[in-house]
Structures are given as structure tokens and as C-alpha cells.
Amino acid sequence: MPGVRPDRRAADPPVTRAIGLLLIAIGVGFALAVTPAAFAPWLYDDFTLVKQASLLLATAPALVGLALSGEVLPRQRGLRVAVIAWVVMLMLSTATGIDSRGSVLGVYQYRQGFLTQAATIVLFLGAVRLGAEGTPRWFLGTAGAGVAACVAYTALQALGADPFDWWIDTSDRAIGTIGNANELAAYAVIWLGFAGLRLEDERRTMALTAALAAGSAFVVLESESRSGLLALALTAALLPLAWLMARAAWRTFGLRAGALAVGLGVGLLASLATGGLDGTAKRVGAGVARQETSDSTRVELWKGTLSTIAASPIVGYGPDGLALAFPRHRPELDAAFDDYDLVAQSSHNWGLDTMANLGIPGFAALTAVMVFAAWGSVRTARAGRETGAPMLWCALAGYGALTLVNPVSLAPQACFFILLGLAAGHRERELPRAVSRLRLRAPVAAMTTAPAALALLSIAGLLVAADARADDGWDATARGDFATAAAKYEEATKLVPFSRRYASDHAYALLARGSTGDTEALRAANDAYDTFDETFGMASGDAIARATALIGLGRPASQVRPFIERARRLNPHGVYIDEYTTILEQAAETGGTLRYVEKDHWVVVTPNPPAP
């Protein structure tokens, strides 16, 4: 094979390689078992931050394990080149992005920043290596732990026994341990791929398929996700085609399809008993009744994202950069954009998100990774050496379809790439083991990757510690104790200096305190926004807040006006941008009074009347 040489005397000792595979197994298993189950209601970001931290914890041993295994990149040449291109575009887009510092962690709601995407790549490569060794049986145990936790918590919500009172807008629908109804459905679809792992006993395989299908149907129906329901139907509908592609025995297909149908039926009955089926039926009926797409917020999001992509098609805006770039480049939009300035942290389409964040070449590289991994698995299955692969393909396809109308979530996305890595591993085990010419000896490999692993472990701990302080800041804000809020947010910022949200909240807490008449707090807020601008770069709301602080300090209009103009440039089509910046312009000329509106958590300016 070009670019590699056979593994002969250069191979690592068997013990070293075994330790490497064990570390990979620990990391991948942790991601499967813990990431879907982890949440912490006492934190500021109770779902996604915990999952991001868990992915970093999982990546640390997997990274060292890959280095010790002697094979970091796949043996398949096409897949290897695609992975390298994916990594290069991720690094390039981060370095040149709209907010390189903030892109390290990503935005608050989805956290698809550099570290998350790098973790996904490492886990994918780790799964490729494990798949090349044969399907590990413990995969079902670790994956089953995450699935069981998700189903159990969904059942609690279905029975009205959820111990926590969630404030999020989907609280009337099951959110499981994922935190969002549609993302919960995405996880329920992708976990069906584990039914494609080959077991020695066909009866156990059928039982596994039925159990996973029952849980999937129950969770999707309880989430009342229309897109999840369609993805689940697509997964089942594609099974005959997948079986045909694999040239597998049709008798086996009948057994698998029967087990799948039984499981789906059990899940439907369970949802009927708890009431979720009725809610799903009503949502589906409402969607059918509203057939036109002219008022679809998703369609408008796609339109705006396409315009945003066109402004930077090569390198994009950096991981999660769409959130900042969207209001700057989108045209006039309808639907929800007519009523309020919708925060577009995602386009609700994985392909568009990837093009916006990593550029069109980054999207092409990621697509190539999926195509080469899938094709390698198909070749192996057609040779009759991987009889369970069709179920795996169908789940991957169903999840992929769902991500075209919904944002990706950390746990389902990690699960997707681990299963994709296993699919690629099916082909890897048939190829001769290869060692890169740049391969490092085990001690050097360990010393090279150990600092990065320790850094990941440290960041994971700091994320949780900082978010606990941010939660204290939020509680203090709710009490009107802005001094404590500012102090807590500042502590969080010092612990995690790559978080745009903490730094923004710190500055705004100072502004809120200044609105009570505390001039020193206003000066501190002005300085904090100056630092924020140098570190992260402003969004439209930050520019408005900076102008507000300057008005409160009584600064001349010549100092205030540049930030008002900047707010308009950063969000030229905002619903209220012209109206509110006009008010700010008046206040810049005549002076103004600052007032904190508790309902909206916003400091507003009332201009003073013009001098007679």
C-alpha cells in the first residue's frame, strides 16, 4: 500500500500494543456509557457542558492509546487521506475563524467547538482500531449502559415522575438525559446501529435487536419528534435494500426484520400506555395540516446560512462560528425572524453547519470520511464476512437524515462516529497492518501525547468547576445581587478563559450593577467590554451594551456613536436593531437613564428630553 510499509521489525511489542488498545477501549467505552447519561441540574449548563467534559475525559486515554497502538490513521488509503483533510480543515478554520478563542469550546447551547470536534475525530479513529481487532463484546455493555440510562429517564418523564422542574421550552415533551426532544430522538435512532454488531448466537442477536428497537420506538414517541419518527421509519424501510447490498442470506433478514418489528411494536405499546403516542399523533397531525413551507423557520435558517456560507466558502468561520457570522451576513428573513432576533446557533442542518464552520472543503473532507468508511464496510459485507452490517448502515443513514433538519448533539454525534469507525474497522481487519514512516516508538509516543491527555483531563474538571460558579452568578442575578453575580462570572472566566459566554455575562453583570447608579461598576463594565472585544470580538448585543455603558458614564456622543454603528453592522437585519439604536443615538446626544428590566435581564436606556 502506498505511503506505508509492512509491519515487520518496526512493530511495537505485543504488550505495548495491548496497552494501547486497552486505553482506546476505556476511552470509547466511557464515551458510550457516560456521555449519553450525564447531566447535572445544579450547573449553569446542565446538559451540554457535562457531556462536553465527559467527551474530553474519554478522549484523553483514547489519544494515548492510539499512539501506543502504533496505528493512528486508518489503513485504507482513501479514508486516511480524508481524515487528514478533515483535521487540516478543522485546524485551519479554527485559526482563521471569526472568534478563534471562543471556537476552542464553541457556543453555549451546542458546544461543537474545536475540542469537541477533535474529540470526535479521536474517538472515530479509536473505534476504527478496535473494529480492526474484531467486534468487541464489551461495546454492547458500555453502549447499553448509556441507552438504559436514557430510556429510564425518559420513562420517568413519561410517568410524570421527573424529580427536576426543567425550564426549557420542550419541558412538555420528554428530553431524557439528552436535554432536547429532537436530539433525544436522534440518539434513539443511532443506537439501533448496535444491533448490527455480530453476536455468536443468532437468538441473542434477535433479542438485542428487539430490545434496542423497543427502546428506540418508546423514546422517539415520548419525545414527540416528527423528524425522529421519520428517521426511525427510514431506518426500518432501508433494511431490505441494505440486506440486498450486503448479499446476505434472506432467511437471516426475516429473523432480523421480525425482531425489529416486534421491538418497535413493544415500544409503541409502552408509549401508548404512558400517553406519549397521543402527543406524537397530535404533532404529526399539526405538521400535515401545515403543509406549506413559507412560514417555516427551518427553511429561513437554511436560506440565511447559505448566504453566510457564500461570504466565506473556503475556510468558513471556525467551529461554531455560524452563531456569530449568521446575523452579519443573512438577508431579510421571514417566519420567526419577523417577530424577534432569533439566535441562530445552528442552521438545523448538519451539512450547512459544516460548510459554514469548516468551509466547503471541510464539508467535502467529512463527507469523504463517511463515504470511504461506509464503502469499506459494504465491501466486507458483500464478501460475506460481516452479516450484521446492514442494520448498522440503516441506523447511520437514519441518523444522518435526521441531522438534515435538526442540530447535532454531543452524545448522538459521538455515538454516530464510533459506529462509523466500527464500520470502517470491518474493512481494516482484512488489510495488512501498516506503520507510518513517521511512527514514534512507544515511550516517545506516550511522552508526546501524555501532556495533551493531561490537558484534556484538566479542562474537563475546570469546565465543571467554572460552570458551578456561573450557576451561582445566574442565581445572584435572579436575586438582583449584581455585585456577587459579576464576581462569580469573573471567577468562571478565570477558570475557563476560552468561554465567550462567561466573559460576556461578567461584563453584563457589571453593567446591570451600574444601572443602579454605581458609577464605578459602569467604568468596570466599560473596561470589561473593552477586554472582551480584544479577546473574542463583539456581537451586536455586546456593542449595544458597550454603548449603554458609555451613555451611563456620560461620555460624549463621538465615543458612543461608533459602537451604535457597529451594532447595526453586526446585525443589519435585526427586528429591533433600527428602533433601539435610534433610541441610543438620541441618548448619546441628550444623555439617558439606565434601567434594568428584570423580566428580560436587559439594561435599557431612556433618553433624557432635549434641553429647551
For residue 491, give the CATH number of its domain.
1.25.40
Beta strands in 289-362 (DSSP E): none
Q: What is the pLDDT of residues 305-319, one digit of tens each?
A: 999 999 999 999 999
Mean pLDDT of 95-123: 95
Q: Is 437 a residue whose pLDDT tops 60?
A: no
Asked whether residue 190 falls in the same domain as residue 286, the answer is: yes
Within a domain: residue 414? yes
Nearest to 441 by CA among 433, 431, 449: 449
Q: What is the pLDDT of residues 502-544, one digit of tens each?
A: 999 999 999 999 999 999 999 999 999 999 999 999 999 999 9
Contact (CB, 8 A) for 276 and 221:
yes
Asked whether residue 519 falls in the same domain as residue 409, the answer is: no
Nearest to 477 by CA among 455, 459, 492: 492
Mean pLDDT of 593-604: 91
155-169, 249-263, 287-301, 328-342: least confident range = 287-301
Phi and psi at residue 6, to the nearest 5°: -55, 150
Q: State residue 451's pLDDT score.
A: 93
Q: State residue 436's pLDDT score.
A: 46
Choosing from 433, 448, 463, the residue where a domain stops is 448
Asked whether residue 199 falls in the same domain as residue 242, the answer is: yes
Q: Is 611 a residue whose pLDDT tops 90?
A: no
Within a domain: residue 245? yes
Within a domain: residue 472? no
Q: What is the pTM of this model?
A: 0.94
Beta strands in 130-227 (DSSP E): none
Phi and psi at residue 603, to the nearest 5°: -95, 120
* Size of the chain in residues: 612
Q: State residue 541's pLDDT score.
A: 95
Cell numbers 420517568 correspond to 156
Mean pLDDT of 5-26: 72
Question: Among residues of the chain, what percentage have pLDDT more than 90?
Answer: 74
Asked whether residue 139 falls in the same domain as residue 94, the answer is: yes
246-255, 286-295, 402-411, 416-425: least confident range = 286-295
CA distance 222 to 289: 21
Asked whether residue 499 falls in the same domain as residue 564, the answer is: yes
Cell numbers 459602569 correspond to 522
Number of folded domains that form the chain: 2
Asked whether residue 494 falls in the same domain as residue 425, the answer is: no
Within a domain: residue 429? yes
Asked whether residue 73 falls in the same domain as residue 204, the answer is: yes
Residue 457 — very low, low, confident or very high, per pLDDT cuts 50/70/90? very high
Q: State residue 35's pLDDT score.
A: 97
Mean pLDDT of 193-199: 81
Q: State residue 341's pLDDT score.
A: 83
Q: State residue 5's pLDDT score.
A: 40
Mean pLDDT of 547-560: 96
Contact (CB, 8 A) for 269 and 226:
no
Asked whether residue 439 falls in the same domain as residue 486, the answer is: no
Asked whether residue 402 falls in the same domain as residue 498, the answer is: no
Q: How far is C-alpha 227 from the geometric centre of its chain's CA atoms?
A: 18
Choosing from 448, 465, 499, the residue where a domain stops is 448
**Residue scoring higher pLDDT (6 or 40):** 40
Q: State residue 510's pLDDT score.
A: 98
Q: State residue 1's pLDDT score.
A: 35
**Residue scoring higher pLDDT (157 or 248):** 157
Q: SS3 for 499?
A: coil
Residue 22 — very low, low, confident or very high, per pLDDT cuts 50/70/90? very high
Within a domain: residue 45? yes
Q: Is 34 a residue whose pLDDT tops 50?
A: yes
Q: State residue 313's pLDDT score.
A: 97
Asked whether residue 518 falls in the same domain as residue 571, the answer is: yes
What Rg value do the Cα atoms of the chain yield, rounded? Answer: 26
Within a domain: residue 453? no
412: enclosing H helix or E strand: helix 410-428
Nearest to 130 by CA among 246, 229, 32: 32
Q: State residue 439's pLDDT score.
A: 55
Q: State residue 2's pLDDT score.
A: 37
Count of Cβ atoms closer than 10 Å to residue 71 Cβ: 23
Within a domain: residue 455? no
Q: State residue 593's pLDDT score.
A: 94
Contact (CB, 8 A) for 10 and 442:
no
Choosing from 400, 432, 448, the residue where a domain stops is 448
Within a domain: residue 461? no
Beta bridge partners of 434: 6
Asked whether residue 265 falls in the same domain as residue 118, the answer is: yes
SS3 content of the chain, % helix, strand, coil (to 5): 70, 5, 30
Asked whether residue 439 falls in the same domain as residue 498, the answer is: no
Cell numbers 451540554 correspond to 48
Q: Is 435 a residue whose pLDDT tops 80?
A: no
Full domain range(s) for residue 585: 480-607
Q: State residue 7's pLDDT score.
A: 43
User: Which range among 13-17, 131-135, 174-178 has the greatest average pLDDT?
Assistant: 174-178
Q: State residue 327's pLDDT score.
A: 95
Farthest-apart Cα atoms in the chain, separation = 92
Q: State residue 294's pLDDT score.
A: 53
Which cell is 302 given? 437554511
Nearest to 179 by CA among 322, 36, 320, 283: 36
432: DSSP letter: P
Mean pLDDT of 551-569: 96
Give the chain's mean pLDDT.
90
Phi and psi at residue 347, to the nearest 5°: -80, -5
Contact (CB, 8 A) for 577 and 540:
yes
Report the first-to-last Cα separation within the chain, whole angstroms.
Answer: 86
Q: What is the pLDDT of residues 138-171, one digit of tens each?
A: 778 899 999 999 999 999 999 989 999 887 655 5
Q: State residue 343's pLDDT score.
A: 84
